[in-house]
Chain A
């Protein structure tokens, strides 16, 4: 028996819970479609103004929607952990022989699977709407890996807050405050050349821009090693910080 066994047991639990909650699962899986259709239809003409945009605004938007969905599902883990803390289920798990880190890993892996599932739906819908993925299947796989990594980095924020505050309301409030500026003041939904200079500066340091740009390069072509490496290093730094913060909070609960 290894930590993988424990993680697998807990991922199984979370996935079963998701299936038993069709509203939550459905909302999360339908959201990508809504965003993709809504933005691309409302802003069809916008594509004409974007310099160098093969595939029009829809192709530009697809990576942004993938990142947006990853961000929207990131708080699920924190909410779930806060609920387990409040219901006593976490204590019950701690009374078993489960390897402590598996409790966090199980949740993180579930969040990553959720983000990957949403991304696949987004990609399928985008292809159906006519977007061509220039880098083919390997490119799509790399997109999914990037999303999963991005989700891992983000989830840690909400796991930390969930364990510390034990309040799901705090997590919802925080996700709104955090996500709107991060997603809209980035290259995810609109090219930053349309932004005022302060927003361009913000966007240039915004990890969402890096993740979106890598994904966009994989859709429309033109990925360079440098952009891939800088995105992964930046997401990696955030992942280390958020996971460390989660561990610090979790250790307080465990001991």
Chain B
């Protein structure tokens, strides 16, 4: 499918499929086209061309059936802050054509699941960020969707809330068999949760597979080095390429990353080669390949996440 937004190509010819019961992730940096894709799949935004089928229904022919089958947790938490948690769920349930005892029971069940029973009678405006996200998740689940779309569900949340959301999602996928389609810019999240991943950048799919397949495709370990200036760095890159066992050398975040099947066996060779040229790295580390290395390998960039500037102060339960 291809999607133009405001005259620019937001999503370029991407194609993928997600199986029933799968925990599928869309990993990519800010502005990669993740939200655009979710908006198209959930009937909020029109695609420019292409064919989309969700839960067995054609997007162009039966958007109503798709809305019935899917639950959506948008990136921005969207609750009515004047209504209580309970009232928010009730309104959402009614809009999903539920009523009576069945709706009341479902609300009670969901409040328990997301641990908001104690504050259900308080206006949502008084909830913390983590609580709002959980209430939003509950409202997305109210009509028992078979497929749940989550657009960066943990962006802006503190670590505790993030882990809580992860647990709910794993539970929903395992215990209730809900298919989950999640977008994230967090490598750790994609690695931990998703059984299948597509990596997206600038509106294009750049890699597909399970997290371990993707990491194995790097073909070994990463040796991360930082040098004191650009001239030294560029000289070091040339030297690294000549070291036996180094399979690839790439720029990364001001430093250089060299890949090797087994870093431990060649690290002595790397240091000796650099030393011979009079170069001493100011920092050296060895790591197993991460999804970030997959991204770096495909795009020449690391996924930049506002991990450090992110609000870390949202309380989990207050």
Chain A residues in the interface with B (C-beta under 8 A): 1, 5-6, 9, 12-13, 16-17, 20-21, 87-89, 91-98, 255
User: Closest approach, in angstroms, between the C-beta of A13 and any C-beta of chain B?
Assistant: 5
Lowest 3 CB-CB distances: which A-B pairs, in order? Answer: A88-B78, A9-B94, A96-B95
13 more contacts with CB within 8 A, not counting A17-B82, A95-B72, are A6-B94, A9-B91, A13-B80, A17-B80, A20-B123, A89-B79, A92-B74, A93-B95, A94-B43, A96-B92, A96-B96, A97-B96, A97-B143
Let me know if B67 is at the binding interface, CB within 8 A. yes
Let me know if B162 is at the binding interface, CB within 8 A. no
28 chain-A/chain-B pairs, Cβ below 8 angstroms = A5-B94, A5-B97, A5-B99, A6-B95, A9-B94, A13-B80, A13-B91, A16-B82, A16-B83, A17-B80, A20-B83, A20-B123, A87-B76, A87-B78, A88-B78, A89-B80, A91-B78, A92-B92, A92-B139, A93-B95, A94-B43, A94-B44, A95-B72, A95-B74, A97-B67, A97-B96, A97-B97, A97-B143
Let me know if B68 is at the binding interface, CB within 8 A. yes
In the bound complex, what is the Cα–Cα distance between A96 and B97 (angstroms)?
Answer: 9
Q: Across the interface, which residues of A come within 8 angstroms of B74, CB to CB?
A: 88, 91-92, 95
Q: Across the interface, which residues of A come within 8 angstroms of B170, CB to CB?
A: none
Q: Across the interface, which residues of A come within 8 angstroms of B43, CB to CB?
A: 94-95
In the bound complex, what is the Cα–Cα distance between A35 and B123 (angstroms)?
Answer: 34
In the bound complex, what is the Cα–Cα distance between A125 and B19 (angstroms)?
Answer: 66
Report if A92-B78 is in contact (Cβ < 8 Å); known contacts: A16-B83, A97-B64. Answer: yes
Contact present for B46 and A95 (CB under 8 Å): no
In the bound complex, what is the Cα–Cα distance between A17 and B79 (angstroms)?
Answer: 13
Residue of A nearest to B83 (CB): A16
Residue of B nearest to A21 (CB): B82
- Which of A6, A17, A89, A92 counts the most chain B CB atoms within 10 A? A92
In the bound complex, what is the Cα–Cα distance between A198 and B54 (angstroms)?
Answer: 63
User: Closest approach, in angstroms, between the C-beta of B304 and any C-beta of chain A?
Assistant: 25
Contact present for B44 and A88 (CB under 8 Å): no
Let me know if B117 is at the binding interface, CB within 8 A. no
Chain B residues in the interface with A (C-beta under 8 A): 42-44, 46, 64, 67-68, 72, 74, 76-80, 82-83, 87, 91-92, 94-97, 99, 123, 139, 143
Q: Pick the contact of A95: B42, B94, B123 (CB < 8 A).
A: B42
In the bound complex, what is the Cα–Cα distance between A91 and B35 (angstroms)?
Answer: 13
**In the complex, number of A-B residue pairs with CB atoms less than 8 Å apart:** 63
User: Closest approach, in angstroms, between the C-beta of B38 and any C-beta of chain A?
Assistant: 11
- Which of A94, A95, A255 counts the most chain B CB atoms within 10 A? A95
Q: Across the interface, which residues of B come within 8 angstroms of A96, CB to CB?
A: 67, 92, 95-96
Residue of A nearest to B67 (CB): A97
Q: Across the interface, which residues of B come within 8 angstroms of A13, CB to CB?
A: 80, 83, 87, 91
Chain A contact residues, majority secondary structure: helix
Q: Across the interface, which residues of A come within 8 angstroms of B87, CB to CB?
A: 13, 16
In the bound complex, what is the Cα–Cα distance between A13 and B124 (angstroms)?
Answer: 14
In the bound complex, what is the Cα–Cα distance between A97 and B62 (angstroms)?
Answer: 12
User: Closest approach, in angstroms, between the C-beta of A6 and any C-beta of chain B?
Assistant: 7
Q: Across the interface, which residues of B come within 8 angstroms of A17, CB to CB?
A: 80, 82-83
In the bound complex, what is the Cα–Cα distance between A255 and B79 (angstroms)?
Answer: 22
Contact present for B67 and A95 (CB under 8 Å): yes
User: Closest approach, in angstroms, between the C-beta of B48 and any C-beta of chain A?
Assistant: 14
User: Closest approach, in angstroms, between the C-beta of A255 and any C-beta of chain B?
Assistant: 7
In the bound complex, what is the Cα–Cα distance between A77 and B67 (angstroms)?
Answer: 26
Q: Across the interface, which residues of A come within 8 angstroms of B76, CB to CB?
A: 87-88
In the bound complex, what is the Cα–Cα distance between A37 and B79 (angstroms)?
Answer: 40
Q: Across the interface, which residues of B come within 8 angstroms of A255, CB to CB?
A: 46
Report if A20-B68 is in contact (Cβ < 8 Å); known contacts: A91-B74, A95-B42, A95-B44. Answer: no
Q: Across the interface, which residues of B come within 8 angstroms of A5, CB to CB?
A: 94, 97, 99
Q: Across the interface, which residues of B come within 8 angstroms of A89, CB to CB?
A: 78-80
User: Closest approach, in angstroms, between the C-beta of A16 and any C-beta of chain B?
Assistant: 6
Q: Across the interface, which residues of A come within 8 angstroms of B94, CB to CB?
A: 5-6, 9
Q: Pick the contact of A9: B44, B95, B139, B143 (CB < 8 A).
A: B95
In the bound complex, what is the Cα–Cα distance between A95 and B64 (angstroms)?
Answer: 9
In the bound complex, what is the Cα–Cα distance between A89 and B64 (angstroms)?
Answer: 19
User: Closest approach, in angstroms, between the C-beta of B75 and any C-beta of chain A?
Assistant: 9
Q: Across the interface, which residues of A come within 8 angstroms of B42, CB to CB?
A: 95
